[in-house]
Chains A and B, each alone.
Chain A
Amino acid sequence: MGFIWFWLVAIMIVAYVVFDGFDLGVGILHPFLARTDEEKQLMLRSIGPVWDGNEVWLVAGGGTLYFAFPLLYASAFSGFYLALMIVLWLLIMRGLGVELRMHMEIGVWRAFFDGLFFISSLLLAIFYGAALANVIRGVPLGADGYFFLPLWTNWRVGPAPGILDWYTVIGGVVALVALSLHGALYLVVKTEGSLQERSRVAARMFWIALLALTVVSLPASIIARPDTLDNFRAYPVLLAVPVIVLLVLSGILYFSRKSDDRKAFACSCAYLTVMLVGAAIALYPRLLPSSSDASRDITIQKALSGPHTLRVGLVWWAFGMCLALMYFVIVYRMFKGKVTLDSGDYGH
């Protein structure tokens, strides 16, 4: 049961990153790629009908995590208190930035919401990357399963790290670049003309940066957390994961060159998925490792809810996910193709 719920929660987090990832990427890119007000509108419309549904993966995933692994939810959310609160504020700002721009005809207001959208998307990407890096590095868990981390201490990976140290900053930068690339590839799919061309150029730049960062992130993880590769050593078949990472990364380049934009975007989805799956494999069966004492690790075993809860949960979860997927198919079908500025069109 623990194994199943570990992967179900992982799937929901992956879904959140893949779906909301391109919303964030678009937010990060839009001050740079859009030259005119129309282009800014186009970029916003490219995510307009879907961003809110994408964000639901975070809420549904958070709820699922809460009920399947209450100890993890309690410990991690109170331990990363300040960072999480900042993330919540950024999510508020992002929502306002996306939605309220069009309610205002005045340029200053539009610029204000554009700025809000950009800054919140940028910082959210960095915080998400840093969050994942924190989980991989481990936190100073107490005997009672709790901890509290300040935002930063001395920027070193030690027994008393901060939420931000050199390793988690790398994680933040990887996420920033990966989601920017993801957003750029999404824009290539959804737009036309010069905006599409600029998105292509941006994608190429981010691709090079991401290749370098992906290569750096592996040894960095091993320095920050020497036992990162234990599961991979125990099951060599899992070494397929880094191979797939490199394959899909090359796939992005290959399909971009051929202007097969949908496949390039699909490769980017696969990249995010496989990177997260790799991290989950490295963690398993831990959920939140201790940075000092392995006996204090929060493991699946320790954090798992009661058996009846989980059995019943499996039934409604599966049913609910079928419904959710159906809604996603409906919405994305209604919204497929390039975005335009015609009014009266869905999503406009």
Chain B
Amino acid sequence: MTALLLHRIHFAFTVTYHYLFPQLTMGLALLIVVLKTIAIRHEDERYNQAARFWARIFAINFLIGVVTGIPMEFQFGTNWSQFARVTGGVIGQPLAMEGVFSFFLESAFLGLFLFGENRLSAKMHWAAAFLVFVGSWISGFFIIITNAWMQHPVAYRVLPNGTYEVTSFWGLLTNPWGLLQYAHNMSGAVITGSFVMCAVGAFYVLENRFAEQGRIFLRVGVVVGLISCITQIFPTGDLHGRYIAKHQPAAVAGMEGLFSTQRGAGIVLIGQPDEEKQTIDNPLVVNNVLSFLIYGTTEAEVKGLDQIPRDQWPEPLPLLFYSYHIMAGLGTYFVLLMVMAGFLLWRGKLFHTRWALWPLLLSFPLPYIANTAGWMTAEIGRQPWVVYGLIRTSDGYSKYVSAGNGLFTLLGFMWMSTVLSILFIVLVYRVIEKGPEVTGPGTAPTGASLSAA
């Protein structure tokens, strides 16, 4: 294995694993604020109880997110030192701001939120929950802005020593790519949160244990889930897709498996791209749709890979194609599921309709897959560039860190992730099994000594 490939896998693996946790953190943070808001507005203690239950899961999830996230900040230097050296003057900025503006906020108020319910008034406790939500969403923003600059570099200049510097602070923070990507990404995180909430709710209702809380979870989860599934596609996904088509035609051609430029391009629903023969095997195509989605008219010409020099094709191309199709396919399924669940909820039948509760229970892993596939689409679509159009990925990695050393630490992270996954599943399962009705205010985390994770 070459050092370049190893460093790519190293970053891809650690960041993919890490992001399984923050997506739930950010989604749940919003949902907990929703629960707390309803509790205050309707003076309904059951919603406080629900919030306390989700806080327990949130705390475990947050801890794993923190410990797997710290390595991310350092891996730019360890594995991608040439990239870090050249671009630090730009992307070091949002990364440092994440620490300064988000992590201090989160770490301080998470402790107050998790353990301060007895000491704080209801409104102050709501405020602590709200600040945790704000902190986690600010954190997401700075990471997206960092990534957006790599996808679509703006507001920079090259210094005489070959490094990059920001020319406009606000230009960097309001990178249009970043704003679209942020909206799309956060909507995705809320989908994960609401699907997890629905799954636990469906579990309790199907099992007829803690059924009252289960119904609350389903009610909130389905409503928030329905809204976020729709915003995921329209407007965020739609606008983001058009923006990508405009600025990264190679990525879109790869995502869609469009080998030749076409007027009235169709969309491939299913198929297997063959890079050598430049065809799609077993294609299921709907005519004209791609042109319409990107340009709003069925006649428009969409650039294919034939117009892009071979050394600028995203790679691995088949993985890009599958990632995109998995993301889009699951996104469609999410809407169908949530529209159905929303309809049944509206008609007051959801809690008795077992055939609808089962898919709600079983679907919670799918948003994780969809979010991961979405990120893989973005990151593979950017290839072969680490900063689009400016720096090639093959010029960015740490030349002095050998493939052997890289493999050693990659295996270390894989082993550690396995252990973390087991711990996470055991701990969360115990919380779910104990159920939401075991505690009063203030004893939120089970026996927990500790706060601020």
Contact = CB atoms under 8 A, between A and B. Distances in A.
Interface string B252-267: 0000000000000000
Contacts of A237: none
Contact of B78 (A44, A53, A60, A84): A84
B452 interface: yes
Interface stretch (A73-81, A158-166, A228-236): A73-81
B119 A334 contact: yes
A328 interface: yes
Given A81-B401, A103-B446, A330-B108, A306 B89 contact: yes
A348 B449 contact: yes
B166 A82 contact: no
A317 to B, nearest CB: 7
B88 A77 contact: no
B178 interface: no
Contact of A67 (B63, B92, B115): B92
B99 interface: yes
A74 B99 contact: no
Contact of A77 (B78, B97, B446): B78
A45 B450 contact: yes
Contacts of A305: 88-89, 92, 163, 165
Given A75-B85, A78-B401, A85-B412, A51 B73 contact: no
A312 B167 CA distance: 10
Contacts of A308: 165-167
Contacts of B398: 78, 81, 146
B195 to A, nearest CB: 24
Contacts of B416: 89, 92
B165 A306 contact: yes
B352 interface: no
Which applies to chain A's interface (DSSP): helix, strand, loop or mixed?
Answer: helix
B169 A312 contact: yes
User: Which of B85, B86, B401 has the most C-beta atoms of chain A within 10 angstroms of its own C-beta?
Assistant: B85
B104 interface: yes
Interface stretch (B32-40, B64-72, B213-221, B281-289): B64-72
Nearest to B14: A88
Interface residues of B, number: 78
B73 A59 contact: yes
A49 B109 CA distance: 10
A334 B76 contact: no
Interface in B109-133: 109-112, 115-116, 118-119
A31 interface: no
Contacts of A148: 400-402
Interface of B: 60, 63, 66-68, 70-71, 73-74, 76-79, 81-82, 84-93, 95-101, 103-105, 107-112, 115-116, 118-119, 157, 159, 163-167, 169, 398-402, 405, 408-409, 412, 416, 420, 423, 427, 430, 442-443, 445-453
Interface of A: 41, 44-45, 48-53, 55-56, 58-64, 66-71, 73-79, 81-82, 84-85, 88-89, 91-92, 95-96, 98-103, 105, 145-148, 305-309, 312-313, 316-317, 320-321, 323-324, 327-328, 330-331, 334, 343-348
8 contacts: A64-B96, A78-B81, A84-B78, A100-B423, A102-B445, A103-B447, A323-B105, A331-B452
